[in-house]
Every structure is written in structure tokens, then in C-alpha cells.
Chains A and B, each alone.
Chain A
């Protein structure tokens, strides 16, 4: 059934959520003279957006096919591009993560001194872009948001970054641009084929999924999407932009980059690449699994050798994302639930660690593990929280990452025991580099004379993150519940 009838709910909450940050950004840009106002405006908008997300989570009930809200109207009729936003459980969880982490970002961006208005405007644009990616059901709309999310990040790295920011921004740009262009080609290709076949042109994912493709076509188009998503995730060997981008980006940029932006790659796989090309997907799963394992180990090993904490965390993220993709490739219900949960946990824990790196850097002016030492003696509260997040990140049971990891591994074991065995080994290895990080930063003789402990603003950033870290560890059901129906539906098409 081809949907041409506009669907509009009583109130367009999704649009409000997506465009609230964007309008906030415009206000910030118009009002750059008062830095204080811009900060408060950014924070207020972020909190309001989070409020909408929470409200939707609490009030909306999903319909039979798992959608919480749908907004669907014609946008550019000539190309039959539709403005279609919809939210199911997976999108909901990602939206909650995004809006939550954006509040953290705003608070973390408080000390920024240069071009404050522009900075906060970019953060808000980024939020709109991310929310759009998670909600758009029309591929052109999706592509648009995909690019909208890219540009602010590029500026954030390029303007507020560290010494080698231009190089890192260029690398980030080249990689992502290359990927996006392939995706755009694939979108258009699919659009044309679908139009030829049915006589009805559409960019809607649900319509395009019904296109009948030869296996060759599927592979080609799948490859186009994959280029974009694999680079963004990032999967080995398309990963080297992340350590550079992360280490050069300002604190907030790196938090958004690892916490959110790289999740869009995996999300794209789940939401677009897999359902559109089921045959190619099922053929490619073993390859995905293999690459995921390579990423898990390779990045883990690399992480062990990094002296820059941010680079270490970048590799750690690549390694974790490897585990996420491993769970997806296993193609079981349990593993998928685990993968999605792990994406959220990883966003929280690694985001928290990156925030803390910024805090440490403000105090000691270095991120080099060789120069850091004995922080515990001077700032015990800061150190205790750093320890908590680092332990969560290495997968300590009872904290956030463990729930996701154990589900991925159990679920993978069902279909691919060998992968699971290697997966467990990779997770075990994560202890090595995280413990090295802990040991270098927290233990040992203090090297600096005086280090201040946490300020009230920093407490405000870290306490919610810490609560979530424990919450995800001991009661993940809150986040697993909404994922059930969409995951079942997503897996339905394949064995």
C-alpha cells in the first residue's frame, strides 16, 4: 500500500523536537553579543528538547507496528519527497540519549570563551541534525539531516580544536564526504529503480523496501550505503579519522562525536541498509562479523599503546562499536537488544570519560598519560567518578556496559559460538587498556602541586551520568522494553 495521504497528529511533537534546537541556534546567532544569554539559551533549549523526549516516552503508546508518533506530509511534490518523521522504540532510545547528552554538552561548553554564540548555535544545529537522522523516514530528508549534522561538527573541530585541528578536520571531512556521496548515489539509484518498477516515485524507506532488486543491484546499492555507514561507525579499516578528529576536537565536540555522531552509522545500518537490502545483508553478515571482531581486537590493541587519553578513548570506542556490530551480525533477538543497549551505555560512559578528560585538562593542561599521575591524592571525588566510568567502560558487572555486552555475547553465542568466544576474549582485553588508563591517571605519586576537586557545575554534569551508569547496569529493562517490538520486526525479514 503506497501511502500518499498526509498523516498529522494533533500536535507535531516530533517536528517541535527537531526544530526547537534549530530555532534556538538562530536566536543564538542573532544575539551573539551577550555570551551569557547564549549559554543560558542553549541550555534551556536543550533541557526543553529533553523534556519533550521524556514526555513522549512517558505518554505515547506504540501502535501495532511499533510506532509511537508519525508525521507525514508532502514536501517537494515534483520529486515526491515527503516530510516524514516517525519514532519507534529504537529511535526513541536514540532520541533520549541524544537529548540527554546535549544537556551535558551545554554544561560542558560553559567555559568556552571564543565566539560563544556561534559555538552554542553549532551545538544546537548539531542536535537538530542528529534528531532528524534518528527520526526521518524519507531518504532525502535523512540525507539532509545527515549533512546538517556533519557541518557543525566540522566547524567545531576546525575553529575550536587544538593545534592540528585543520588537518584533523580535513581528514574527518574527506572521509565522511566520500561516504556521503556514495550514499547519495545509492539513494538516487534506488529511487530510480523503484520508480521504473512501480511507476510511483518515492523516497520513503517503507516504499523502497518493496523494490524488487537483482542481487547485483542490491550489492551495488548496499555498498553505497555501507560506505557512508561504515565510515561513520567507524568500522576498521575506515576508522583512522576518529582518533585524529577526537583528539583535536574541543571537549564538547569529542563528546558529541563519540557519544552520538558515530552512533548514526550503526543506526543507519539498522534503519536503512538492512531493511532495504535483506538479501545482500544476509550474505554479508559473516563479513560484518569478521570485520567487527577485527575492530574489537585491533582497536583494543591500539588503545593499549596510546598516550593521549582522547586517542585511547577513540580506539576504545572503535573497539566497543566493533562489539555492537558483532551483535548485529549475529542476527539474534538477544544480541540485537544487547547491541542497542551497548550503544546507549557506550554513549553514557565514554561521554562521561571524555567530559572528565576535559575537566582534567583544565586543571593540569595535559592529556598525556606519561605526564599524568596520582590524581587521587589531590582530587578524590573527581578520581572516584573517573574510576566509576572507567570501570563501567571495561565492562564491570552491575554497571552500564556490562548489560549490553553480556547480551551481545550470549546472543552471538546462539548462532555463532566462535564469534562469541573471540568476543569474550576481546572484552577481557578491554581491561588491559582501561586499567592502564586508570593506573596512569589515578595512582602513583602526584606530579602537580595543587589540583582543585570538582566544581558545582562539574558535579551537575557528572552526577546524572553516574546515576545512569548504575541504572543501566542494574535495571536495563527501562531501555530494553521499548526496543522489543522494533527489534523483532527488524529481524523478521531474515532467518
Chain B
């Protein structure tokens, strides 16, 4: 029985309300607020676990629970309903599991902040929205979560609201997400009415899967609709061309970046494609676009990651790039691989972000102690932190190995499965594979650059602050250790057949089969090739990763003067990359400013000059005409009464004439 599914979103919602309403005045104690917030998510995690394991043993894999009706207008019937199947179960495990750890971490990280209660209230509200997004059994409930996570992201990016830059970044994130939402709604409307014209009136995902074929394989309407949905995904998951908000989103507190802008919310686009895999698979065009955009984003964002000095920004571009990998997977039909990478990425990227948070936390306190206002996030002020922060260093290092894809860390399995599918799938292509493999090498380079600049070499922190850098407390390091552990062993749930010498089997593939296999069989999506080819490719990508690491080692560990030489030789290129290819400036010039100017025109010219001009003209004429009446009647009310009388006279006159 799956009749208590509503408990999963219920706990964080209640947690959010309690902390939000009572936190400031009544609870006050940080410990209590933190316990309520973390406990609420942990309870959801427990309920999810219970159902997850129940689902493992169940033969029936798709379960729906309808709580109440939401809207019922004509043909449109929308319920508050939940859908629990392997896909949402896995996603919920990630959201609630990683979510609990990050809540715990936040207790330490946010210690002493003024809006502590507000932070936990938002964070719980975020988890609630994310659960609605994942668990909703129809597109509109998903949309509630979809916008809800956007809102919480907005609130949390702008958490330090006294800072102008934080407010701007928050606004940018929201508006860009809204552009994506435009696509989501449009896609939904198209599907709704087209399916309706075949007699299926529904917004329910299960019905989409069942009746999707009515739209016609490869038909224009399904291509248009899925492209619209994909536009929504590019907004939420920060893909080209709507990615620019994510790096700016780093204005928020670091645990927020880990939870929202790395592990969960930004993967919503990938999840959404997984949820509607039937529709996407029906349009090879859309799948091609998804793969192409994913590959382009992967390499483009990685290139920007080369030249950033802010530790969080490096990780942000890395996230954009890794999300690109997931979209490549979705685009070539490797749905399982995409979700697999989503999961492993949640482990190692959350660990990286939390690690960077631990570093920033330590740097901040050290600099604060020495009364310096150096930037605690600038890697040029770091270096040699390994000695001071051993746990942070070790976990950060492990995650770097995982993201670089070294065997047999978690990232190795998921990334190689994506690359294999890109190479061998019926929807794959050599070009996409090539770009993705190259981007993987770039990833290894910039992540190790980041690792070396932060933890190795000479400590470049101001001497006054140097010795005040300390390892963080256990609430911060415990989540790091757990996540690093997962980043190490998490990949073994998806061991590919080719190298499965001890026959553990690809557990993840088997688990997700009820969601994806039907589609893949129906539309002949499969990766075919010899096991030897697969192993060859694996060796190749490991070599590429090692080359990336090697270059980073040469440049940033062995010869620390090399990067400076390099940037001065290629100063122009460096400037362009450092300034993120000037994309923000181009967007400002093309869209933001023109829109603003046009708005000004609408108001200042059309409303004020034209419309009001005419009205005032009429007003003047009336004034002139009524000047004669002024002698006997003063003011406006009399005019008005006069008009009424005139009207009545006309009426009576007409009546009499008849």
C-alpha cells in the first residue's frame, strides 16, 4: 500500500511553516530551529526509504495516489495526485537524502546568521517544492513544484538581501526560469489539446506514457511540444542559452548552492525529460537537439571554468557542464545513464560545494579574525590548505577524482555509460561523443586546477590570517565524509556489463527498467557494440582524464609560474574566457536594454504624449465650452448633474415623440 505518500511533502511543509511563523519570536534557539528543519527532511527521507524498499520487493512498480481534486473545468481535470515509481523513488532518495545532509551541514555553516529561522524555513519550503515536482502525477502539480523550487531558489539566492548583487542575481534567476516556464506551459497546452482531439483529456504522466503514441511518431506536434518542454528544461537546468543565471546564483549561501544549484533543483530538467521519456523518444529531432545542446553546454561551460578564480564560480560552471552531460544522455536515449549521472553528480558535486563551503567558512573566520577584507572565495588567496583542513581536503580530493571519472569512483561509471551510449546508441553520433569526451578531459583539468590552487602549493593567505585557518566542526565534516563515501562507492549500482567480472549486475538499469525499457524497445533505442569496444572507450576516456589531470599538475603544482606566462601570452583569449565570452553583456544589450527602452517608450510616449494628450485636449475643449456656464455653476458636480438632466430630457423627448 502506498497511501501515505502525502507524508513525504507534508513534513518539510510543516517544518517550513513552523520555522517561518514561530522561528523568530518563539523558538529563537538555533539548535531547535535547526533540529526542526533537519528533522522534517529526515522524516521525509525515512518515509521515502520505507516506500523505496517496499517498491524493490513489489512486482507492480507504478503507484498513484490522488489526495483531492484541484481544478475541474470542462474537460480539464487536475488532481492533487502523487506518482511513485522507480524514477520518482530514486529521485526522492537523492533529494531527501542529500537534502538531510545539507540541512545538517547548514546548522554549522549558518551559525550566528541573523535570519537563521528564515533560512531554514526557505530550505524546507524548497524541499517541499522539489518533492512536489518529483512526486506529482500530473504536469500541473509538477509545475507547482517547478515554480516553487524557482521561488525558493530566488529567496535563497537573495538571502543576503542587503547586498545589491544578491538581489540582482536572484531576480535574474527568476526571470530566466520564467522564460523557460513559458516553454513548459506551451508544451503542456499542445499535448493537452492534441491528445484531447484524440479523445484523451489528461495532464497525467501515466496517461501521457500510455497514449502518447496517438500523437504520431515523429509528427510535428510532438516535436514542437517536446521542444517547448525542453526550453523549460534549459531554463531550470541552466543549459545554453539560458544558463547565465546559475553562476550568478552563487551569491546565495554555499549550502544552498550545494543543494539547489548542484544536487537537486537544476537536475529538474533532466528529471522532467525522464518523466516524459515516451514523448521525447517519439521525436528524433528533439532528441537530437537535446543531445546537441547538452554537448555544446558541456564544452562551453567547461571552457569558462578554466579561467575563474572564485572557487564557487568554478564549481558553478562545472555544474552547468555536468548538466550538459546529463542532457547528452537524455538526447541519445540513455535515460538510465542520465539519471545515473544525475545521482552520482548529486553526491560528488554536493560534496565539492560543501567542501568549498568549509574552506570559505574557515577562510572567512581567519580573515575576519585578522580584520582583513580579502575575498574568502578567491582561490588566489588560498593554497596549501591541505595541512589545516585534512578532512575537507580528503573529501574534496575524492570528489575531484570522481568528477574526473577515474576508475572506480562514482563518476567513472555514470560518465562512461553516457559516453558509451553517445558512441553506440541508435540515437548517438560520433560528433556528440567526441565533444563529450573532450569536455570530460577539460573537466579533469579545471577541477584539479581548483584542487591544487586551494589545497596545494604555498599558502597565499595573508600572513596575519594564515594560522587562523582551522578545520570545520563535525556538523560540517560529517556530511562531507558521507558524501565522499557515496562518491566513492555510489557507482557500483550501475556497473556496465562489459566489465562486470564478478557479476554484480547493473542494478540501476534493472531498477529503472519499468520506466524506460518500454520506450527504448518501442522506438528501437539501444546501444549496440562489442564489449571490447566498450572497454576500449573506457580506457580512452580514462587516458583523456589523466591527460587533463597531468596538464593541471604541470601548470599548477609543478610550475606555478606557468599560468601567469600562459595568460600573458594569450592575453586576449584569456580576457574573453575570463569574462565568460561576454554572454551577459550580449544578453543585456540585445534583450534586457531593448525591452526596458521599449517599455519607457510605451509609457512616456504612448500613454503620456498620445493618449493623455488627446484626453487633455478634449478636457480643454470642454473647459472652453463650459466657460459660459461657470457664471451660474461652479465646479464639476454641477456639470455632472447637468449631464444627467440632459440625458433624462433626451429620454423623455424620445418617448414623447414616439
Contacts and interface: CB of A to CB of B under 8 A. Distances in A.
B167 A337 contact: no
A435 B182 contact: no
Give the interface size class of chain B.
Answer: 35 or more
Contacts of B643: 177, 181
A333 B74 CA distance: 7
Interface residues of A, number: 71
B566 interface: no
A357 B610 CA distance: 29
B636 interface: yes
B2 interface: no
B530 interface: no
Contacts of B190: 413
Given A174-B622, A175-B615, A240-B615, A305 B599 contact: yes
Contacts of A51: none
Contact of A398 (B74, B144, B161, B599): B144
B593 to A, nearest CB: 12
Contacts of B24: 380
B73 A301 contact: no
A334 B70 contact: no
Contacts of B69: 477
B167 A240 contact: no
B193 A301 contact: no
A398 B600 contact: no
B611 A301 contact: no
B174 A431 contact: yes
B599 A407 contact: no
A39 B612 CA distance: 38
B606 A424 contact: no
Contact of A301 (B20, B147, B171, B598): B598
B162 A444 contact: yes
Interface string A417-455: 100110011001001100110010011111000000000
A238 B140 CA distance: 36
Interface in B135-154: 140, 143-144, 146-148, 151, 154
Contacts of A177: 640, 643
A406 B140 contact: yes
A284 interface: no
Interface in B179-235: 179, 181-182, 185-186, 189-190, 192-193
A476 interface: yes
Contact of B175 (A170, A243, A376, A432): A432
B618 A431 contact: no
A420 B619 CA distance: 38
A79 B648 CA distance: 12
Interface in A462-495: 474-477, 480
A173 B637 CA distance: 10
A249 interface: no
A431 B162 CA distance: 21
Contact of B182 (A170, A380, A428): A428
Interface stretch (B293-301, B438-446, B480-488, B649-657): B649-657
A237 B148 contact: no
Interface string A105-148: 00000000000000000000000000000000000000000010
A79 B655 CA distance: 8
Contacts of A69: none
Contacts of B599: 301-302, 304-305
Contact of A173 (B147, B636, B650): B636
Interface string A358-398: 00000000000000001011001000100000010000111
Contact of B654 (A174, A188, A421, A477): A188
Contacts of B603: 301-302, 305-306
A184 interface: yes
Contacts of A158: 636
Contacts of B637: 154
Contacts of B147: 396-398
B161 A442 contact: yes
Nearest to A302: B603
B654 A397 contact: no
Most buried by B among A177, A185, A410, A477: A410
Nearest to A384: B20
A424 to B, nearest CB: 5
B144 A192 contact: no
B654 A192 contact: yes
Nearest to A433: B599
B72 A477 contact: yes
Given A240-B612, A301-B602, A424 B186 contact: yes
A376 B602 contact: no
A384 B144 CA distance: 20
In this complex, which of A237, A334, A443, A444 has the most chain B Cβ atoms within 10 angstroms of its Cβ?
A443
B171 A435 contact: yes
Nearest to B161: A443
A439 B170 CA distance: 9
B581 to A, nearest CB: 25
B158 interface: yes
A414 B636 CA distance: 48
B178 to A, nearest CB: 5
B658 interface: yes
B651 to A, nearest CB: 5
A428 B175 CA distance: 8
A175 B614 CA distance: 12
B66 interface: no
Contacts of B148: 396-398
B32 interface: no
Nearest to A192: B654
Which of B20, B72, B80, B615 lies at the interface centre, i.e. has the most chain A CB atoms within 10 A of its CB? B615
A424 B190 CA distance: 13
A475 B647 contact: no
A306 B622 CA distance: 30
B601 to A, nearest CB: 8
Contact of A397 (B75, B144, B164, B171): B144
Interface in B69-94: 69-76, 80
Contacts of B185: 406, 409, 424
B158 A443 contact: yes
A186 B623 CA distance: 26
A444 B164 contact: yes
A293 to B, nearest CB: 14
Interface string B55-78: 000000000000011111111100
A327 to B, nearest CB: 12
Contacts of B503: none
A174 B182 contact: no
A204 B118 CA distance: 58
B655 A334 contact: no
Contacts of A337: 73-74
A175 B606 CA distance: 17
Interface string B589-601: 0000001101110
Interface string B166-177: 111011001100
A226 interface: no
Contacts of B647: 181, 184
Nearest to A413: B189
A464 B599 CA distance: 35
B91 to A, nearest CB: 20
A425 B73 contact: no
A243 B611 CA distance: 13
A304 B601 CA distance: 12
B607 interface: yes
Contact of B651 (A188, A306, A476): A188
A141 to B, nearest CB: 14
Given A301-B603, A443-B166, 11 more contacts: A170-B619, A171-B619, A173-B640, A177-B640, A196-B658, A243-B607, A391-B151, A397-B146, A428-B181, A444-B161, A444-B162
13 contacts: A154-B636, A174-B622, A237-B606, A301-B599, A302-B603, A305-B599, A337-B73, A409-B185, A413-B190, A413-B193, A417-B189, A475-B70, A480-B71
